[in-house]
Amino acid sequence: MHIITISREFGSGGRELGKRLADALGFDYYDREIITAIAAAKGLDERYVSHTLEHHGWQNIPLNFRSSFTGFPPPSSIQTDLLLAQKQVIEEIAKAGKDCVIVGRNADVLLKDYNPFNLFVCAQMETRVRRCMERASESEDLSQKELEKRIRRMDKIRAQTRQLLTASPWGQAHTYDLVINTTTWDIKTLTPAVAQFAQLWFRRNQL
Amino acid sequence: MHIITISREFGSGGRELGKRLADALGFDYYDREIITAIAAAKGLDERYVSHTLEHHGWQNIPLNFRSSFTGFPPPSSIQTDLLLAQKQVIEEIAKAGKDCVIVGRNADVLLKDYNPFNLFVCAQMETRVRRCMERASESEDLSQKELEKRIRRMDKIRAQTRQLLTASPWGQAHTYDLVINTTTWDIKTLTPAVAQFAQLWFRRNQL
């Protein structure tokens, strides 16, 4: 079984890359599907699950703690419960034994015993703002400055969630197998390059 | 013309990857050749040129200055002279217009107008120590601890040289197009994956 995990900066195109990679390689794809599974298991609304997992209240705490809970307010019991449910869903996906791409949710760390191919996707801020503008609905009429602020906030949440849940830093090269800067790429064009790399990664121990 | 630049952590296999990539793609390869060219132009001994460029005396200064000369002792006139000669040699390589791989020496920044494909190669410390042990001559009988110390020192020199000469940080994902963690790869097996990625990179604007 082959697992690709994708961690990504907000607006870097990581999710689109994950979806296209799954299509190109014939792998299953998990992203929002994980939220759906948690919501179903807990009998909760998907939006509530998603919001609770992302807006955990840690994002206002300075990011200078190392691999420890020190200084963080403890998550509420519903947050802990949902985080454990998320862990369980991700482990069940792996146990099912089918090739898959999992986007976000620290799957690289949770599934490290399965030896996944771990990608981190980043891009320069201007590119990320442009991508967010392109995909925004018309009702979301944010200025460039507001978008930048939202992007930085989402990055911060992801970094802090990772720091709280794992001992492995977010977005640092040694933590992943491959870090892809999408700044000058169109994601569709990039996909075969990453797919070929992934195929060699999974074959490398037999070469 | 296509240029691949490789920045790398000491012992990460970046140089071997560069050589193999050049062979696989039919590109010229520049590494020690740059030192040879500087030595020839200046009528100096190669070992002297190499030693002066690497042991510039900045490595004992704390790494907390940002993109500025502040706090650094000015390089001696011979160091400045050799750094300028190195810049000139690298620019001449690019002007010659042939496809090439250039290892180290901040070529990614010096040649940014040529839109090179910029790689950073890293690996976990244990892997780097093992690689250094494998390639060490019998006369170099360093312990694991001594090797780790040397590796950290070389990384520090590279980071500080980059910081002194460019405004672009060393080893940070956004600075490069692709960051490759070679920890679990054999470099020979890794080469075709990177070569294919590079080929798509150079073709991407025509797709």
> Considering only CB atoms, which chain A residues are within 8 Å of B122?
173-174
CB contact under 8 Å between A179 and B177, yes or no, is no
Pairing of strands A117-122, B117-122: unpaired
Most A CBs within 10 Å: which of B177, B199, B203, B205, as the mutation test of the A interface?
B177
pLDDT in tens, A153-191: 888 888 887 877 777 777 778 889 999 999 999 999 999
What does pLDDT average to over chain B? 85
Spell out the SS3 assignment of A37-80: HHHHHHCCCHHHHHHHHHCCCCCCCCCCCCCCCCCCCCCCHHHH
CB B162 within 8 A of CB B67: no
Chain B contact present for A112, CB below 8 A:
no
CB contact under 8 Å between B197 and A197, yes or no, is yes
Most B CBs within 10 Å: which of A4, A155, A197, as the mutation test of the B interface?
A197
CB contact under 8 Å between A204 and B185, yes or no, is yes
pLDDT at residue A62 tops 60:
no
So what's the ipTM on this one? 0.83
Cα–Cα distance measured from residue B144 to residue B135, given in angstroms and rounded to the nearest whole number: 14
Q: At a CB cut-off of 8 Å and minimum separation 6, what does B15 contact? A: B6, B8, B31, B103, B104
Output the CA angle B170-B175-B181, nearest 5 degrees. Answer: 75
CB contact under 8 Å between A122 and B180, yes or no, is no
User: Is residue A66 exposed (0-12), middle (13-18) or buried (19+ Cβ within 10 Å)?
Assistant: exposed
Q: What is the pLDDT of residue A153?
A: 87
Tell me if the pTM is above 0.80.
Answer: yes
Q: What is the pLDDT of residue A60?
A: 45
Chain B CA closest to residue A198: B193
Percent of chain B with pLDDT over 90: 53
At residue A96 the predicted structure's pLDDT band, cuts being 50, 70 and 90, is very high
- Selecting from B173, B176, B189 the residue whose C-beta is nearest the C-beta of A204 gives B189
- Selecting from A173, A193, A201 the residue whose C-beta is nearest the C-beta of B122 gives A173
CB B59 within 8 A of CB B152: no
Chain A contact present for B201, CB below 8 A:
yes
pLDDT at residue A75 tops 70:
no
Chain B CA closest to residue A193: B197
> Considering only CB atoms, which chain A residues are within 8 Å of B191?
none
Q: What is the pLDDT of residue B177?
A: 95
Chain B CA closest to residue A194: B197
Whole-angstrom CA distances from B109 to B9, B21, B91, B118 are 17, 20, 11, 9
pLDDT at residue A25 tops 90:
yes
Residue indicated by tokens 């970094």: A159
> Considering only CB atoms, which chain A residues are within 8 Å of B207?
186, 189
> Considering only CB atoms, which chain A residues are within 8 Å of B201?
193
CB B2 within 8 A of CB B202: yes
Chain A contact present for B181, CB below 8 A:
yes
Partners of A6 in the β-ladder: A103, A119
At residue B98 the predicted structure's pLDDT band, cuts being 50, 70 and 90, is very high
Q: Taking Cα atoms as reference points, which of B29, B63, B15 lies closest to residue B162? A: B63
Cα–Cα distance measured from residue A56 to residue A196, given in angstroms and rounded to the nearest whole number: 37
Chain A contact present for B101, CB below 8 A:
no
CB contact under 8 Å between B196 and A201, yes or no, is no
> Considering only CB atoms, which chain A residues are within 8 Å of B176?
179, 181
The per-residue DSSP string of B119-178 comes to EEEE--HHHHHHHHHHHS-TT----HHHHHHHHHHHHHHHHHHHHHH-SS-TT-GGGSSE
The arithmetic mean of pLDDT across residues B48-76, rounded, is 58
Q: What is the pLDDT of residue B69?
A: 46
Output the CA angle B107-B122-B68, nearest 5 degrees. Answer: 50
> Considering only CB atoms, which chain B residues are within 8 Å of A172?
173
